[in-house]
């Protein structure tokens, strides 16, 4: 259970995405989300940054990058 409404670490974020939202962290999903979050010109990225701040955006990007490494592992 989280103490805040937003994930504060990778494990909380992963649980939120995969269990609470029911979204599997597939290579295609992770790559698509990283393409959005890394694109400074995307309205979605700009809106996320204005709502949650640069630090949280960078945390989310980092969590997606970790997921990207994990789903790319043999046998994952």
What would the pLDDT profile of 20-32 be if each residue is shown by its tens digit? 999 999 999 999 9
- Domain count within the chain: 1
Taking phi over 0 as left and psi of -120 to 50 as alpha, with beta for the rest, 73 belongs to: beta
Segment 11-19 long-range contacts (CB within 8 Å, at least 24 positions apart): 13/60, 13/63, 14/63, 14/67
Residue-number span of the structural domain to which 37 is assigned: 10-72
pLDDT tens by residue, 25-61? 999 999 999 999 999 999 999 999 999 999 999 999 9
35 inside domain: yes
Rounded to two decimals, what is the model's pTM?
A: 0.88
60 inside domain: yes
4 inside domain: no
* Both tokens assigned to 42: 């995307």
């Amino acid at each position: 259970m989280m103490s805040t409404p937003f994930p504060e670490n990778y494990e909380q974020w992963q649980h939120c995405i995969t269990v609470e939202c029911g979204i599997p962290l597939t290579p295609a999903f992770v790559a698509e989300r990283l393409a959005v979050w890394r694109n400074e010109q995307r309205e979605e990225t700009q809106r996320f940054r204005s709502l949650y701040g640069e630090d949280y955006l960078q945390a989310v990007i980092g969590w997606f990058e970790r997921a990207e490494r994990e789903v790319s592992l043999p046998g994952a």
